[in-house]
Amino acid sequence: MERKTTRTIPSRMANQRASYDDQTIYSILDEALFCTISYSEDDVPYSIPQSFVRIDNYIYLHGSVGSHLMRTLSDGRSTCITAMLADELVIAKTAFHHSVNYRSVVIFAKGELIEDENQKFVAFKALTEKMVPNSWDYLKPMTMKEMQKTTAIRFSLDEASAKCRQAPPTHEESEMDVPIWTGLIPIKPLRQAPIPDEHGAKIPLPEHLHDLI
Ligand SMILES: Cc1cc2nc3c(=O)[nH]c(=O)nc-3n(C[C@H](O)[C@H](O)[C@H](O)COP(=O)(O)OP(=O)(O)OC[C@H]3O[C@@H](n4cnc5c(N)ncnc54)[C@H](O)[C@@H]3O)c2cc1C
C-alpha cells in the first residue's frame, strides 16, 4: 500500500508536515469524532459533516437508509473525506504569521456498502464506543429493526495523507524586539458536566459517563 500518490502530496510544506504512516493517520482518526465527506453529483459539489469510526485500515460511516448522502455514496463514487483536530491558535507578532496548530487527515476513496449484518454490527458498536466509551453494554441492545434502518459504508485508508503543524509562532528577525504578545492558545474540545433530561435526572450517572468527563 502506497498512500503517497499524486493526489496526496501537499504543494506546501510536504516534507515538514505531511506523513503517511499508520500510526499518525490512525491516531488522528481515532481522536477526531467528526469528518467532512465531499463528493459530486450531477456537477454539484457536496460537503457533508458526519460522525465516523476507524476499524483497521478503513473508516466507517453510518446513516439512515433514507439518507441522500448514504444512498449516493453507496454507488462507489470517488469521495474525499477530511478529519481534523485544531489544537492551538498560534499568536504571532503579525497577522501574517498567525496560524493554527493542527493535525488533519485527507482520504481519497470509493465507498463500499456493508451488506454483512455482523460487519455492520461491529461498525455500529465501534462508533458508539468511540463517541461514548464503555457504553455499549449499558445500553438497550440494538434490534434487528434498528440495524435494518441503518446503512454502513466503509472507505479504505489506502490513499490518505496526514498533515500536522505543531510549532511555536514564526518570528522575523526584524520583529524580535517589538513588544507584542506571542504564544499559543489551546482550543482542545472538552467533555463537560452532563445535563440530564427528565428521565436521566431520576437515574444515577453511570460510571462510564463519569469517566468521560
Ligand atoms: C484547522 C486548520 C486550519 C488551517 N488553516 C489554514 C489557513 O488559514 N490557511 C492555509 O493556507 N492553510 C490552513 N490549513 C492548512 C490547509 O489544510 C492546507 O494544508 C493548506 O491550505 C495547504 O494546502 P496545499 O496547497 O499544500 O495542499 P494541496 O496541494 O491543495 O493538497 C494536495 C494534497 O495534500 C494533502 N493535504 C493538504 N492539506 C492537508 C491537510 N491539512 N491534512 C492532510 N492532508 C493534506 C491532501 O492529500 C491533498 O489532496 C489549516 C488546516 C487545518 C486543519
DSSP states of 38-59 as a string? EEEETTEEEEEEEE-EEETTEE
Q: Quote the number of domains for the chain.
A: 1
Over residues 208-213, the mean pLDDT reads 91
Q: Smallest Cα–Cα separation from 121: which of 146, 139, 140, 138?
A: 146
Enclosing domain of residue 129: 14-85+102-167
Position 137 confidence tier, pLDDT thresholds 50, 70, 90: very high
Look at strands 150-156 and 112-113 and give their pairing.
antiparallel
188 band by pLDDT with thresholds 50, 70 and 90: confident
CA dist 25 and 63 (Å) reads: 24
Q: What residue owns the CA closest to ligand 1's atom 31?
A: 10
In this predicted structure, what is the pLDDT of residue 212?
A: 87
Share of the chain above pLDDT 90, in %: 89
Domain assignment of residue 26, yes or no:
yes
| Domain-located, residue 154 | yes
1 pLDDT more than 80: no
Which residue minimizes the CA distance to atom 14 of ligand 1?
100
Q: Does 138 map to a domain?
A: yes
Cβ of 86 closer than 6 Å to ligand 1, yes or no, is: yes
Q: Has residue 191 been placed in a domain?
A: no
The answer to the question of residue 196 being in a domain is no
Mean pLDDT of 152-179: 95
% of the chain residues with pLDDT over 70: 100
Supply the pLDDT for residue 93.
Answer: 96
Rounded Cα–Cα distance for residues 194 and 29 (Å):
25
Detail the DSSP E strand segments found in 34-146. Answer: 34-41, 44-51, 53-55, 58-64, 78-91, 99-110, 112-113
Give a yes or no: residue 141 inside a domain: yes
Kindly state whether residue 210 falls inside one of the protein's structural domains. no
Q: Closest residue (by CA) to atom 8 of ligand 1?
A: 99
User: Average pLDDT, stretch 184-209?
Assistant: 95
Tell me, what CATH number does 29's domain have?
Answer: 2.30.110.10
Nearest one of 51, 64, 59, 204 to 138, comparing CA atoms: 204
The reply to whether 176 falls in a domain is no
Paired strand residues for 102: 86, 165
Give yes or no for residue 162 CB within 6 A of ligand 1.
Answer: yes
CA of 30 to the centre of ligand 1 (A): 20
**Which residue in the block uniquely carries the three cell numbers 511555536?**
168
Ligand 1 contacts CB of residue 200 (under 6 A):
no
Average pLDDT value for the chain: 95
Q: Please tell me the predicted confidence (pLDDT) of residue 50.
A: 97
Ligand 1 atom, smallest distance to 13 CA: 26
Buried b (16+ CB within 10 A) or exposed e, 43-80: eeeeebeebbbbeebbbbbbbeeebebbebbbeeeebb
Q: List, for residues 2-29, the tens digit of each pLDDT value.
A: 899 999 999 988 889 999 999 999 999 9
pLDDT of residue 8: 97
Dist CA 71 CA 66 (whole Å): 7
